[in-house]
Amino acid sequence: MKQVRLITALALLGALAACDKDTTADPPAELVDIKATLKVQRLWSESMGGGGEVLRLTLGVAGSGDTVYAAGRDGKVRALDAANGKRRWQTDTDLELSAGPGVGSGLVVVGTSDGDVVALDAKDGKQRWRARIAGEILAPPLVEGDQVIVRSVEGRLRSLSASTGKEDWMVEDLVPRLSLRGTATPVAVGGDIVVCGFDTGKVMAVTLAKGEVLWQAQLSTPRGRTELQRLSDVDSAVVVSGKDIYAVGFQGRVAMLALDSGQIWWSRDMSSYRGLAIDDDQVYVSTSDGDVVAMRRSDGVVVWQQKGLARRGLSTPSVDGDAVVVGDFEGYLHWLDRGTGRFVAREHPGDKRIAAPPLVMQGRVFVIDEGGHLKAYRTGSAAGN
């Protein structure tokens, strides 16, 4: 099964690469000069070690309290002071990491392409345990209470003991012959429910205690004559607010679902292989075409659509004060006004793709690219504006 998944993933990457080389395909949008109305200050930077860009890994950055945690493809995991980037500890797992870190309950958890799950102590980086599951891990593990929830490319969602790494339960969904390279990050709700997307276009809610399926919602329905046209993965984390769940799928739709039943309250045709963010009033989506779209949370009506980043392979957006920040395939960070979608700032941390969503914490923005370069920023009103 693992070999089949690898072949189909490579086949898809090859098909997409062929599209990139097609002279008739529309090129990525060229960036135009903007008048910055948001001041962006770089605070510090750190190199985590690269090597993941060829495999399209999304090793990201996580935070807790005044500490940020990051991992590199070469196996190193670091804890850094959020304010100044000072290293608090570093652990070398001696593994080629592919997912993480996930942080919670005093643990920092990472995963590998071979199915290794490694749990480190969040205080000093010492290894607590190491476990092996079947299937590549491409999404950060979820640490919730005394459980670590891991989603693998084999279509399985597993619960491991946070104390020992022993498997408690497992839920699985079918895996299509061809799917996108990526998996959704599981999300905990209320301490007793886990919600996660799957490659069949489903969003599933299960109990945290036993993995019992509460409901399944078909967010994206496969359609089309070819396997590429029928891709319908939900590869991004859902966002939960109160009794509402917001989710988006590839070649499918963005929707608001009821937490208790999975019933879809509203939906709009939209395709995204990254994900979405929300604030009190709006939902923000990075589409597969490279648009950033803002919709009303209550009914999905489009408020604005920024097309200036078309075909630039955007990351999941994050809300940063009065702006939305998103990364692209050339390593640029773009800040857009939440009310209008206009560009208000731009930075170029490096020339590697930014695939992981920017982390906004304590008034700072942390971003890591596929080369393992981690940068920290602070934003504020530009002088005179």
On the question of pLDDT at 18 being above 90, the answer is: no
SS3 48: coil
More reliable by pLDDT, 236 or 18? 236
For residue 274, pLDDT beyond 90: no
Sheet of 193-197, strands arranged across: 187-189, 193-197, 202-207, 213-218
15 against 77, higher pLDDT: 77
DSSP reduced 3-state for 252: strand
Q: Which helix (H) or strand (E) holds 2?
A: helix 2-21
pLDDT of 256 strictly over 90: yes
For residues 274 and 287, give the distance between their C-alpha atoms in angstroms, rounded to a whole number: 8
Q: What is the CATH number of domain 2-381?
A: 2.130.10.10
| Three-state SS at 122 | coil
Gap between the Cα atoms of 291 and 295, Å rounded? 13
Dihedral angle, C-alpha 370, 373, 374, 377, nearest 10 ° = -100
Q: Where are the domains of the chain?
A: 2-381
pLDDT of residue 182: 75
Judge whether residue 9 has pLDDT over 50: no
Give the mean model confidence (pLDDT) for residues 271-294.
95
pLDDT at 164: 97
Q: What percent of the chain has pLDDT over 70?
A: 86
Report the range out of 113-117, 352-356, 370-374 with the highest average pLDDT.
113-117
Average pLDDT over residues 105-129: 97
Residue 25 banded pLDDT, cuts 50, 70, 90: confident
- Contacts by residues 219-226 (CB-CB < 8 Å, ≥ 24 positions apart): 219/247, 219/248, 219/249, 219/252, 219/253, 219/255, 219/257, 219/264, 220/249, 220/250, 220/251, 220/252, 220/253, 221/252, 222/176, 223/251, 224/251
What pLDDT score was predicted for residue 197?
A: 92
What's the chain's Rg over C-alpha atoms?
20
Beta bridge partners of 68: 63, 80
Residues 282-291: tens digit of each pLDDT: 999 999 999 9
Mean pLDDT of the chain: 88
pLDDT by residue (tens digit) across 169-228? 999 988 767 556 778 899 999 889 999 999 888 999 999 999 999 999 988 776 666 666
* 35-51 pLDDT tens trace: 999 999 999 999 987 65
CB 105 within 8 A of CB 115: no
Cα–Cα distance for residue pair 203/125, rounded to 1 Å = 34
Q: Is the peptide bond before 101 cis (omega within 30 degrees of 0)?
A: yes
Give the three-state DSSP class for 20.
Answer: helix
Tokens of 217: 């919602």
> How far apart, in whole angstroms, are the C-alpha atoms of residue 59 and residue 78?
13
